[in-house]
Chains A and B, each alone.
Chain A
Amino acid sequence: MIELVVSQALNGVQLGVLLFLMAAGLTLVLGIMNVVNLAHGSLYMLGAYFAAALTAWTGSFLLALPLAVAATVVVGLVLEVATLRPLYKRDHLDQVLLTFGLILFFNEAVRMVWGATALFVPVPEIFDSEIELFDGEIVYPTYRLAIIGVGLGVAGFLVWLITATRVGMLIRAGAANRDMVAALGVDIVRLNTLVFGLGAGMAGLAGVMAAPILAVESGMGDGVLILTFVVIVVGGIGSVRGAFVAALLIGVVDTMGRSLLPMLLRELLDRQLASAVGPAVASMLIYVLMAVVLTVRPQGLFPARTG
């Protein structure tokens, strides 16, 4: 039982780390630029598609990784300059309309370019194995450990960037009070572009890292986007620290809920009923968590905005 819980905790952390890569970018874009970017999931999808195409082209996933992230950043920057910038002054609904349109656009675009069937991305050879822990009681895919490693690395990088650099200072200031930062003479347009590029890069990285374990297909970003919004709402909009804690929380709660809740229900309820109710309740769990957080702390766990 202990082994099962430890394995599931690892699964949860791995999911959480991927969610963090997504959420960190989205929360900054929403917190600093005040833009609702539904197309964030499309950048994740593009990262995965670029990884697939570049892995096939270069023959190496590890070589494709930086190239795919860079390509996603370029797409993100083009998007920001060409489509989002004119809408900064408009209200959120206009931005929702635009970025929702972008989701549809990208979902069809990848199908036109790469076809309707899912693409294959191999697990890089050095990670293509399983690691045995506790004398073989826990067997865990090495690649998933690598995802955890990369995610924690990026988190560390962000902490450094935000707490120890001048850019980070501006980002923090922008999240706390955007107008004041602009009034102090900071080029907010450039800061916006930078933040958007950073967010796009992390979403792209999440997509690249997910490509070897998930089907690379049109629409793969849509489901992740919803989870990401849950994370940033729970964590507090604009807060990278909040995104980190909330992503791990959501990842672990979702995974634990999916694996342990049906077991628990089976002890309490009739087997037939438990198998019907279990998956439904498990998939609701994170939304219940979000509702509870919103009731107790409407600003999220770590609110960034002060006024």
Chain B
Amino acid sequence: MTMKRMLGAVAATAILALAVPAMAQGQLKIGFIATFSGPGGALGRDLADGFMLGVEHSGGRIGGLTTEVIREDDQLRPDVGLQVAQKLLQRDRVDIITGIVFSNVMLAVYQPVIESQTFLISGNAGPSGIAGQRCSPFFFSTAWQNDQPHEAMGAHLQRQGVRAAYIMAPNYQAGRDALTGFKRQFKGRIIDEVYTTVNQPDYSAEITTLRAARPPATYVFYPGGMGVNFVRQYAQAGLTRRIPLYSAFTVDATTVEAQGDAALGTFGTAFWTYDLATGTNELFVRAFLAKHNRMPSTYAAQSYDSARLLHNALTVSNLGNKDSVRDALRKADFPSVRGPFRFNNNHFPIQNFYLYETVRDAQGRLVQSNRGVVLENHRDAYASQCAMRW
């Protein structure tokens, strides 16, 4: 290519780029940021698969607009997350950004996205700052605030009359938040609060110490591969039968295959289980199974809801008018897979949290079976710190 022709091509591209906003009517560009590579990759995949199913169930046209979803991998690195967010905002000029598995990535992209007045719909991450003082009229979550599932388990054990618990988590912010959330609702004695190195593969030392403490119950937060390791080693030490294991984000559809029978009889808490009979949910689970030949996880459910929320909001509002979009989003007038769903003043959902037990279903699959509501219409602990009122 000669210099002249190259310049011509660049100029043409620039003109095209300038022309995009004018042609944007009837078009919707969504930037989807998630962790697709590395150990967290399974979560990003479920988040994306759930979202794309939601788009498909909206006739492929969110809000009746020609929908283009641009996927970006944040590699679980805040700096990369920020980079791809800026690319989506400046080069692709997306109307919406969604996805985002991890809180540290969320905290990196949050400020630039909302400052550009682009709507940011979290499909997973819900760090406390964003739920509290740093809440924004451009941020919405279809997942939960990070502490909530842990609060639910604390409340469950409290209600069960469990006197004391041994609690463990990885030594990073989300791990500390998890145990803080648990202790907010659980008033019994904490026999020990153990923090382990992030991505530690072997827990034999900690499990031996735990056994010696003879606790009546164990509560852990070990997402992803850590959960596979911990739950299996806990069972291999013969403890699952003796000391009941309670957890959140540790035994779910993304880990249970690798945990196998070790996960049987363990309990967790979440805002959704695959067997919730809400009509929408049955449709969602059946379609997801048919399409991907695996059970949907909570991540897929959350993100499916992101797409469905957007669809209904953009159907009744005008993409060019941000206030009308926000008003429509706030109404949350869409059939959520979880049933009742409305937004709190900080744009986090007010929703139920359920207890689930991991069992084998009639087809022999390991599934998280719903064992009833633990917290009804639960609001997160930080909403009162958010100044936004509507």
Shortest beta-carbon distance from B37 to chain A in Å: 7
Flag if B205 contacts A218 (CB, 8 Å).
no
Cα-based distance from A130 to B340 in the complex (angstroms)? 46
Taking CB atoms, residues of chain B closer than 8 Å to A120 are 257-260
A-B contact count (CB 8 A): 116
Known A143-B236, A213-B236: A119·B258 in contact at CB below 8 Å: yes
Interface residues of B: mostly helix, strand, loop or mixed?
helix
Taking CB atoms, residues of chain A closer than 8 Å to B236 are 123, 128, 130, 141, 143-144, 213
Flag if B229 contacts A214 (CB, 8 Å).
yes
Flag if B41 contacts A279 (CB, 8 Å).
no
- Whether a CB of chain B sits under 8 angstroms from the CB of A297 is no
**Number of residues on chain A facing chain B (CB within 8 A):** 49
Cα-based distance from A123 to B204 in the complex (angstroms)? 16
Cα-based distance from A14 to B208 in the complex (angstroms)? 13
Known A120-B260, A214-B202, A216-B258: A108·B208 in contact at CB below 8 Å: no
Flag if A213 contacts B229 (CB, 8 Å).
yes
Q: Which of B22-30, B55-63, B181-189, B192-200 contacts A (4 or more CB under 8 A)?
A: B192-200
- Contact mask for chain A residues 201-214; partner B; CB cutoff 8 A; 1 contact, 0 none: 00000000010111
Flag if A259 contacts B205 (CB, 8 Å).
yes
- Whether a CB of chain A sits under 8 angstroms from the CB of B64 is no
Taking CB atoms, residues of chain B closer than 8 Å to A111 are 37, 41
- Whether a CB of chain B sits under 8 angstroms from the CB of A165 is no
**Number of residues on chain B facing chain A (CB within 8 A):** 38
- Whether a CB of chain A sits under 8 angstroms from the CB of B177 is no
Taking CB atoms, residues of chain B closer than 8 Å to A116 are 41-42, 45
Taking CB atoms, residues of chain A closer than 8 Å to B15 are none
Cα-based distance from A256 to B45 in the complex (angstroms)? 38
Flag if A279 contacts B171 (CB, 8 Å).
yes
Known A122-B260, A215-B258, A216-B258: A141·B42 in contact at CB below 8 Å: no
- Contact mask for chain B residues 330-362; partner A; CB cutoff 8 A; 1 contact, 0 none: 000000000000000000000000000000000
- Whether a CB of chain B sits under 8 angstroms from the CB of A66 is no
Known A213-B233, A259-B206: A4·B199 in contact at CB below 8 Å: no
- Whether a CB of chain B sits under 8 angstroms from the CB of A242 is no
Taking CB atoms, residues of chain B closer than 8 Å to A223 are 199, 201
CB-CB nearest in chain B for A115: B42
Docked complex: A241-279 residues within 8 A CB-CB of B: 255-256, 258-259, 262-263, 275-276, 278-279
CB-CB nearest in chain A for B195: A279
- Whether a CB of chain B sits under 8 angstroms from the CB of A220 is yes
- Whether a CB of chain A sits under 8 angstroms from the CB of B1 is no
User: Which 5 A-B pairs have CB atoms at the shortest separation, nearest pair first?
Assistant: A215-B228, A118-B258, A215-B225, A116-B42, A11-B204
Interface set of B (CB-CB < 8 Å, partner A): 37-39, 41-42, 45, 171, 193-197, 199, 201-202, 204-206, 208-209, 211-212, 224-226, 228-229, 232-233, 236-238, 254-255, 257-260
Interface set of A (CB-CB < 8 Å, partner B): 3-4, 7-8, 11-12, 14-15, 107-108, 111, 115-120, 122-123, 128, 130, 139, 141, 143-144, 210, 212-220, 223-224, 255-256, 258-259, 262-263, 275-276, 278-280, 283
